[in-house]
């Protein structure tokens, strides 16, 4: 993709992915789901997950899976509020850009 993905957009995408699963989801699955929209490495995503946790938008817990612990991430109420704000901002932003590209603005 020729467009850069800034930190804010990456935060919004990760929150959207994590919010799909009520009980949360694990890091590798988050990476795979994000990669359906944009190309990103695991080494890029894990600092994002840590930052979102530090900011109170995600909680983290471990769950046993096949004899090993898997780290799960779950969105918080504050995370849902932040995601709602991101969605609102994205609607306006993407509409404005689309209008420019289509020669309507």
Question: Residue 42's pLDDT is what?
Answer: 86
Sign of the CA dihedral 17, 21, 23, 26?
Answer: negative
Q: Is pLDDT at 4 greater than 80 in this prediction?
A: no
* pTM of the shown model: 0.90
Q: Is pLDDT at 2 greater than 70 in this prediction?
A: no
Task: Give all domains of the chain, ordered by start, each with its CATH number.
Answer: 7-101 (1.10.10.10)
pLDDT digit string, tens, across residues 5-52: 889 999 999 999 999 999 999 999 999 999 998 988 888 999 999 999
Q: What is the mean pLDDT of the chain?
A: 93
């Amino acid at each position: 993709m020729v467009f850069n993905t800034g930190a804010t957009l990456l935060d919004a995408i990760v929150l959207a992915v994590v919010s799909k699963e009520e009980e949360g989801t694990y890091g590798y699955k988050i990476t795979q789901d994000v990669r359906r929209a944009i190309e990103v490495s695991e080494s890029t995503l894990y600092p994002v997950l840590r930052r979102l946790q530090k900011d109170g938008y995600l909680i983290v817990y471990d769950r046993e899976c096949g004899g090993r612990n898997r780290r799960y991430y779950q969105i918080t109420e504050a995370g849902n509020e932040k995601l709602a704000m991101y969605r609102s901002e994205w609607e306006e932003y993407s509409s404005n850009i689309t209008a420019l590209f289509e020669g309507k603005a």
